Structure 1
Amino acid sequence: MSEELPKDLTGNRISLAVLTVSDTRTKENDKSGNRILELARQNNMQIAEHTLCTDDIEAIRSILAGWLLRSEIDVIITTGGTGISSRDVTLEAVRPLFEKEIDGFGEVFRYLSFTEDIGTRAILSRAAAGTVNEKVIFALPGSTGAVTLAMRRIILPEIHHIRYELTKHLQ
């Protein structure tokens, strides 16, 4: 996005935490996690955390639970573990935390993946989003293309509106 996005209601930039779920990646070769960070920085977002963990429900939940308690984190994005293989457990870790699921995110993501990226393979994606404690969590696939698509076409255009809706009662 070329124009600078507005700040949140407090006048601060939106703060983001990124969790890469993978048994094989490191920070150096985490293309998807690093792509999220790159796009977030280009759009005036603060980076609070970038962590990697294995495909393990308890490990994922432990990291997210800590982040959900941190007032300076507004948005959490996970990448990886949203497919259908036996090791893909991100949704099993994240969904029970949701207070409200944002069904439209997964629907629009799969539609865009189908029409703009991978065709019918989009049916294998379990990408999802939901809210917890006035924060939003996005669970994205692990591919760089999927992360770029989600960030550019859905998350970045809507994140300020989502943040507003989650915090407008605090005004």
Structure 2
Amino acid sequence: MSHLTDSEKTKKLICCVLTVSDTRTMENDKSGKAIRSKLEAAGHHVFESLLCKDDGMAIESIIAEWLMNQNVDAIILTGGTGIGFRDVTIETVTPYFTKTLDGFGELFRYLSYTEDVGSKALLSRAVAGIVDDKALFALPGSVKAVELAMDKLIIPEIHHIVHELTKHLEE
């Protein structure tokens, strides 16, 4: 049973999307496009969508700017979450977390194991956390992984997460 009112369930959230990749361009960024499409289909607004290289300083610069924007409710990254040498998304974003959403990564890997890639799911380092009053999700770069995370975890829970983060502001 949801604790949210009807207006809270339909509130348009403001989200930012960052694709981290050394090889993709805005034209061929299918994962970023999938995130934007699913957010918009759920009635949310994508405030900004960018692409940057697998570079900690580049990721940090963009994330820091979005975190300072009081209107942004959630940030979703795709790419750079693997175990390769250039995969630095997790190391870059987790120091910002004021709280972790450990269940997100656990559920994502379980769903990946059962519905997508089998035992290869153990290579996923997908994470989610809270940075003050904003939700931040870091997803793998594959379109199937993004669709799985968006459909099964993020879209169904993002209203509740943002509500829990901001309800103290309404009191």
TM-score (norm 2): 0.94
Q: Deviations over 1:99-134 (max 9, x none)?
A: 001000000000000000110000000000000120
Question: Identical aligned pairs, as a percentage?
Answer: 56
User: Whole-Å Cα distance in 2 between the matches of residues 116 and 168 of structure 1?
Assistant: 34
1:147 Cα offset (Å): 0.2
User: Whole-Å Cα distance in 2 between the matches of residues 123 and 28 of structure 1?
Assistant: 30
User: Whole-Å Cα distance in 1 between the matches of residues 7 and 124 of structure 2?
Assistant: 31
Letter in 1 for 2:56: I
1:65-80 aligned within 5 A: 65-80=64-79
1:169 aligns with 2:168: yes
The residue that corresponds to 1:130 in the other structure is 129
Contact 1:7 1:13 in 2 (8 A): no
User: Whole-Å Cα distance in 1 between the matches of residues 7 and 43 of structure 2?
Assistant: 9
1:149-164 aligned within 5 A: 149-164=148-163
Unmatched 5+ stretches in structure 2 = 1-5
Q: Deviations over 1:139-171 (max 9, x none)?
A: 000000000000000000000110111011111
| 2:66 counterpart SS class | helix
1:103 aligns with 2:120: no
Contact 1:8 1:163 in 2 (8 A): no
Unmatched 5+ stretches in structure 1 = 1-5
1:41 Cα offset (Å): 0.8
Q: How many residues align?
A: 165
| 1:123 counterpart SS class | helix
The residue that corresponds to 2:55 in the other structure is 56
The residue that corresponds to 2:3 in the other structure is none
Computed over aligned residues only, the root mean square deviation of the Cα atoms, in angstroms, reads: 1.2
Higher helix share: 2
Letter in 2 for 1:132: V
1:138 Cα offset (Å): 0.1
1:42 Cα offset (Å): 0.5
Q: Deviations over 1:54-112 (max 9, x none)?
A: 00111101100000000111010000000000010000100001000100000000000
User: Whole-Å Cα distance in 2 between the matches of residues 7 and 89 of structure 1?
Assistant: 38
User: Whole-Å Cα distance in 1 between the matches of residues 7 and 152 of structure 2?
Assistant: 19
Contact 1:8 1:14 in 2 (8 A): no
* Segments ≥4 residues shifted beyond 6 Å: none
